Structure formats: structure tokens, C-alpha cells
Structure 1
Amino acid sequence: MFAAFKASGIEPLLADAGVTGLERQRYATFQQLWHQFGLLAFISGMLTDFLDGWAARAFKAESRFGVWLDPIADKLLVGAALIALALALKTWLIYIPAALILARDVFMTWLRTRPEAAGIVAPSRLAKWKTAAEMMAITGLMLPLALWPMPEAPAGGDGLHWSTLVTGALVLGLWVAAALSLLTGAQYVKAIKGGQR
């Protein structure tokens, strides 16, 4: 499904350096272990974020600071995963939505520090759907990298193979998440402007 190993340009460099096939296989295995670690870290982050929010609501322990901090933690988790995916897959199909999401999240984090945004901290329902779309798409795209060795890419191919409809659906999901990111960002800016009137 994914061919990031050869598409990354690392495999040809190893071949030029006289590295044997066995050593290249060991390097690929090492890469896969890192992908497995990344997937486990991302899933752990999602679960702890969910449990933290659930516990805060169940025990009525929600605070204004927690409501403000939780989206920032989500952005850090998603941002790190998007950067890792972009570096691994090396395709514009990931670069563009990842860049849009990261740019929006940086802008929103800065905007939340502004005095005029002090009274508008709770995420909207659409923002929660956006976060869910990001989490599902990222997890789905990380899963093949973690579970299966990366095959060689065909000549002139991108780092992403369209071998299954699932892959296309996951990439589409990431684009949907990027669109929702821009939409919710626009809604937040509109809410701030409305509050200043």
C-alpha cells in the first residue's frame, strides 16, 4: 500500500553506498518499528485525551483553563502525527491538507491568546467532528506503515499507492478534516468579531 521507503530516497542512497540487501532489510525493519511506536503513541494520546475529558465531565471537574488547554493538546498531538506522516509518505496528497491543518492550528493557538478571545473558549460541535475526522484519518494512514513492510515504489510513482479504496477514503478523510479546520477557524474568527460589537 505504502512505498515511502524507496520514495524517500533513502533506499537508493543505501544502494549507492554499497549497503547489502540484508542491511537494507534491517533498516526497513527499524523504520517499521519507529512507525509502530508512533502509532502506539498516537493512540495512547487519543485515549488519554478522551478519558480526561470524560472524567472531567463525569465528576464535574471542568475548569475554564482545562477547556482552553484541551484543544491545544489536541493540536500538538495531531500536528506531530501529520508531520511524521508527511515525512514518511512524501506525497502532495498529504502535504497540502497537513499544511492547511497545521497553519490553521498555529493561527488558532495564537488567536486564543488574544484578549478579545478571552470569552470564547469552548469548541463547537463542528470542531469536535473536525478533530474526530483528523484522528480517524491519521490512525488509518499510520496503521499500514506500522503493520506491513513498505514495498518499493514503481518508477516515477508517488510515495502513496492507490492499491485499495480504503487508502483513498482515508486520504479523502484527511482533506475533509482540513476543510473542516478552515471552516471552524472562520467560525471562531466570526464569533470573536461578533463579540466585539
Structure 2
Amino acid sequence: MSARLNLPNTLTWIRIVLIPLIVVVFYLPQPWSGPVAAIIFSLAGITDWLDGYFARKLNQTSAFGAFLDPVADKLMISTALVLLVSKYPGFAVAIPAAVIIGREIAVSALREWMSELGGRQHVSVSGIGKYKTTAQITALIMMLWGQKLWFIPMYEIGYGFLLLAALLTLWSMGKYLMAAWPHLRGY
């Protein structure tokens, strides 16, 4: 099996293919559209964990998978944030969404630039990134759900996680910039 068609990469492609489905379901004029979009988003999020697990367990890591996985993550997160900003216009959702999306673009550009300088290891994924991702996924699932689940105020709790995710996003970006600072000073 080629590196591009292995199980981990197939799971990543599934995550990408689910993105338009999330959008379509989210905008259906049905009372169940938010919860179903959240469930699809959750399934896509599970593929993120599974692709990494199987890549390590089956020794199927590849350069293509290392490229595709973060692209799929950024597409999924950004799409969900755009959906939420469209449904809940105003600064309360737009500012944390802009912080998260802006950080993803800035850090991706920083990693690329550092790679060209031979310093990519200085801006590799940090431990805080796992917490940031967990907070983002939790926030987005709950906010996409958008209505109470039994007595649980999903949107409100999700919004709290979104604010936490935005703070962790800024913190992790600061760590990346500090790690890259010696290289940035020369330019």
C-alpha cells in the first residue's frame, strides 16, 4: 500500500470529505441540524485521533500524512468557526474565531519560513497545542450543537471553551514566536 493510500491518510481524507457535509447539514432548516452537524464534526474529530494512532501503531507515518493531517485540522476548525460566526454574528464569537484562525495562518507561515532556514525543530508542535486542540474541538462540538442537551446548556459551555481555546491559542503562538525569536531578529 502506498504511503498516500494507507489507513491513516484515508482517515484524514475522510475528515476532509466530511467538512462540506457538516456545512450542508448545519444550514438545513431543521431543529436537528445543529446536533447532527455536531455529531458529524465529532466523527471527523475522532478520525484525527485515529489517523495518528494508526500511523504510529502500523508504522505508516509518511511525509504526505504529516502534511495532510494539519491541513485537514485547520480546514475543519476554520470551517466550523466560520459557520458559528455566520449563525451568531457579533464580536463575541468573531473575535475568538479571528484569533484562532489568525494564529493558525501565522504559525503555519512561521513553520514554513523556519523550515526554509533549517530551524523547523524550533517551532514544532508543543504540548500546549494538545490542550488548545482539545478546547477547540470541545467548544466547536458544543456550539455547533447549539441547543440544550437535556438540561446542559451546550452553547454556553461551548462558548466558555472557545474563550479558553482563544487564550491557549495566543499562549501557544507566543511560545512559537519566542522559540523563533533568535531567527526573527536577524531579519
Answer whether TM exceeds 0.5 for this pair.
yes
Give 1:67 deviation, angstroms. 3.4
Deviations 1:4-41 (A, max 9, x none): xxxxxxxxxxxxxxxxxxxxxxxx96254653553243
Contact preservation (8 Å) 2:145, 2:155: no
Give 1:194 deviation, angstroms. 4.4
1:171 maps to 2:172: no
Give 1:131 deviation, angstroms. 0.4
Residue 35 (structure 1) aligns with? 34
The separation in 1 between residues aligned to 2:50 and 2:171, in whole angstroms, is 27
Q: Residues 34 and 170 of structure 1: is their aligned pair in 2 closer, same or farther, counting only changes over 3 Å?
A: closer
Q: Which has the higher contact order (CA 8 A, sep 6+)?
A: 1
More helix per residue: 2
Contact preservation (8 Å) 2:148, 2:154: no
Residue 189 (structure 1) aligns with? 177
Unaligned runs of 5+ in 1: 1-27, 149-162
Contact preservation (8 Å) 2:84, 2:144: yes
User: Which residue identity does 1:90 align to in structure 2?
Assistant: P
Residue 98 (structure 1) aligns with? 97
The separation in 1 between residues aligned to 2:28 and 2:68, in whole angstroms, is 37
User: Which residue identity does 1:84 align to in structure 2?
Assistant: L
Give 1:109 deviation, angstroms. 2.0
Q: Residues 40 and 55 of structure 1: is their aligned pair in 2 closer, same or farther, counting only changes over 3 Å?
A: same
Unaligned runs of 5+ in 2: 1-26
TM-score for the superposition, normalised by structure 1: 0.66
> How many residues in Structure 1 have an aligned counterpart in Structure 2?
156
Residue 49 (structure 2) aligns with? 50
Give 1:147 deviation, angstroms. 7.8
Q: Which has the larger radius of gyration?
A: 1
Percent identical: 29
User: Which residue identity does 2:58 align to in structure 1?
Assistant: F
1:10-89 to 2 correspondence within 5 Å?
30-32=29-31, 34-36=33-35, 38-89=37-88
The separation in 2 between residues aligned to 1:48 and 1:191, in whole angstroms, is 30
Residue 154 (structure 1) aligns with? none
Residue 139 (structure 2) aligns with? 137
Contact preservation (8 Å) 1:39, 1:146: no
Residue 110 (structure 2) aligns with? 111
Residue 11 (structure 1) aligns with? none
Give 1:164 deviation, angstroms. 6.7
The separation in 1 between residues aligned to 2:39 and 2:176, in whole angstroms, is 32
Contact preservation (8 Å) 1:67, 1:122: no
Residue 17 (structure 2) aligns with? none
The separation in 1 between residues aligned to 2:79 and 2:167, in whole angstroms, is 19
User: Which residue identity does 2:84 align to in structure 1?
Assistant: L
